[in-house]
Structure 1
Amino acid sequence: MYNNLFTEAGLSKNEAVIYEYLLKNGESPALNITKNTPLNKGVVYVALNELIDKGLITEKLLPPKNPHVRNKKKIAYFSPEHPEKLRAYLSDQEAKLKKAQNSLEANLGELVSSFNMVSDRPGLRYFEGLAGIKQVTEDSLKTAGEIYTYLDTENTVKKIEEINNEYVKRRLALGIKKKIINADNPYTREHMRKHQQWDAEDSQLTQVKILDHRVCHFDTIMQIYDDKISYISFANDRQVGVIIQDPTITAMHKEIFLFNWSRARTLRELEQPGQIFSKPT
């Protein structure tokens, strides 16, 4: 009568048969269940143990209730728990499913990337919102090498300052080196003065240079590390992140970055006499 209800709640067909039998007949030994259901002895014991694990029935060792039985050795009797336990079981399963879903979401990108790499296709992951931006940012903390970054300081400070501060703290604690090419604008220079970032070698872990003032502003952070490239876009007040995983594409961008790095200049070089910032015409 209730078999479909119980199977929809997550019980196997055999468990549903036994659980319904116990609800209707009360405390019973396995022998009675075997005699009064279409299940054989082995299947009954397996299903009984599963129902015990689920918290839906209990087991007690009691003397035989039949007074004519000569062997008075205790036998196992199984009793159903209150049907409210089924609701509790469902809630527990929902919580486990939610946890599994969150775990899958957190690791799906890596799984897709692995699949794409085996399939000779670039891995591509897409993220949205501040939580997504945080994931994109923190992915580079897994690197085994140095990070190359194109950065607009103003956007970073004004839009993801808290995320960036925590990221920098963790990166430095992990001892991960980073080269940063900043977009040249008044905000960037003032920020670098404030933090005493005059020379590329001011920090053992962080080297900063400024790209030619003709590249005055951009709305994307780009990070290059291992065999990945990540982008964070702030255009039109969006919060969008993308990670591409492909060794060939990444190798090309590393070469382009190092080319730009060799031509970028430090704040000290730019602010020597005759090198004062002026807006592009």
Structure 2
Amino acid sequence: MYEQLLESSGLTKNESLAYLSLLKLGKAKSGEIVRDSKISGGKIYETLYKLVDKGLVKYITENNIKFFIANHPKTIIEYVKERERNLQNIEKELGSIVPNLENIRKLDSRAETVALIKGLRGVATIVYDALEKAQNISIMGVRSGKNIKFNNFWKKWHRHRVALKKKAKIIFSDKNTDYWRHFKKQKYTQVKEILHFSPGALMIIDNNSFIFSYDKELICIHIISESIAKSFKGFFDELWNFAENS
């Protein structure tokens, strides 16, 4: 338990083991720490000196023998705080260079790419990015029975869409659910239904096509292609004209 918590604070596994051994042993030689922590003898000095650099361990020399001593456990809190401050500074620096990085990343708008993205965080990045420049949003195969975390994710995304005054057409595969009602009364949103029929969860935003799969995690196939998006949009328009408007 202690080892995992120390690793979460930024220490490596070996650093955590060595530090815990020193807390238990008090003043100890490297060999004693190796025996207690089961760290490789070839790695022990590298590990201990890293702990010294982090301010968690100190050493003294007696009769030409080096002894290591763990500093007070409160120093871990100071180490974590210092690490957080460094991360905040890095975050600020990264924020200042993001525009330059975006220029480096410039993509040919005509390029056709296919990517597989797993997890809410990765999917969020691409769908929010597409939303900012969206001119046309069409969504079909929407079901209410997904895990609530996925429904909440899309509610938040659509709230942002509405805030940007971006219109969307949505075809649900069910109706009369709380999730369905949420979108029926939402501004800048048209909802229709094709019950008991689902061509799969698909969202088309301009030249971007997103195919979604919901299981334990959200999986998305992201296709950037004008021709494929046009084909999907044609299929969507046919379904839209056929769908119920309750």
TM superposition score normalised by structure 1: 0.46
Determine if contact 2:141/2:173 at 8 Å carries over to the other structure. yes
User: Aligned in 2, Cα 1:136/1:232: closer, same or farther, shift over 3 Å?
Assistant: farther
User: Aligned in 2, Cα 1:190/1:166: closer, same or farther, shift over 3 Å?
Assistant: closer
Matched, 1:191 2:178: yes
Structure 1 residue 212: Cα displacement: 4.1
Structure 1 residue 92: Cα displacement: 7.0
Matched, 1:245 2:224: yes
In the alignment, which residue of structure 1 is the partner of 2:158?
168
Partner-residue secondary structure (3-state), 1:154: coil
Structure 1 residue 96: Cα displacement: 4.8
Same amino acid, percent of matched pairs = 20
Matched, 1:159 2:149: yes
Matched, 1:136 2:126: yes
TM superposition score normalised by structure 2: 0.52
Determine if contact 1:228/1:250 at 8 Å carries over to the other structure. yes
Aligned residue among 192, 203, 209 for 2:192? 209
Q: Highest CA radius of gyration, 1 or 2?
A: 1
Partner-residue secondary structure (3-state), 1:145: coil
Partner-residue secondary structure (3-state), 2:150: helix
Give the Cα separation in 2 of the matches to 1:129 and 1:144: 22
Give the Cα separation in 1 of the matches to 2:118 and 2:180: 33
Superposition RMSD in Å: 3.8
Structure 1 residue 133: Cα displacement: 2.6
Alignment of 1:70-109 (within 5 A): 96=90
Structure 1 residue 196: Cα displacement: 8.3
| Aligned AA (1:255) | G
Alignment of 1:112-151 (within 5 A): 114=107, 122-151=112-141
Question: Residues 134-155 of structure 1: CA distance to partner in whole angstroms, max 9, x if unpaired?
Answer: 2233133123412000142324
Question: Residues 165-213 of structure 1: CA distance to partner in whole angstroms, max 9, x if unpaired?
Answer: 22121111111000001113xxx3233774483xxxx766100011143
Give the Cα separation in 2 of the matches to 1:137 and 1:247: 17
Determine if contact 1:138/1:167 at 8 Å carries over to the other structure. yes
Partner-residue secondary structure (3-state), 1:189: coil
Determine if contact 1:227/1:245 at 8 Å carries over to the other structure. yes
Structure 1: 5+ residue runs without aligned partners? 1-87, 269-281
User: Aligned in 2, Cα 1:224/1:111: closer, same or farther, shift over 3 Å?
Assistant: same
Structure 1 residue 131: Cα displacement: 0.7
Structure 2: 5+ residue runs without aligned partners? 1-81
Aligned residue among 227, 232, 247 for 2:212? 232
Aligned residue among 177, 187, 190 for 2:167? 177
| Aligned AA (2:148) | K
Question: Residues 225-265 of structure 1: CA distance to partner in whole angstroms, max 9, x if unpaired?
Answer: 11111122114x23212321111111111111001100011
Question: How many residues align structurally?
Answer: 160
User: Aligned in 2, Cα 1:155/1:139: closer, same or farther, shift over 3 Å?
Assistant: farther
User: Aligned in 2, Cα 1:258/1:167: closer, same or farther, shift over 3 Å?
Assistant: same
| Aligned AA (2:210) | S
User: Aligned in 2, Cα 1:157/1:150: closer, same or farther, shift over 3 Å?
Assistant: farther
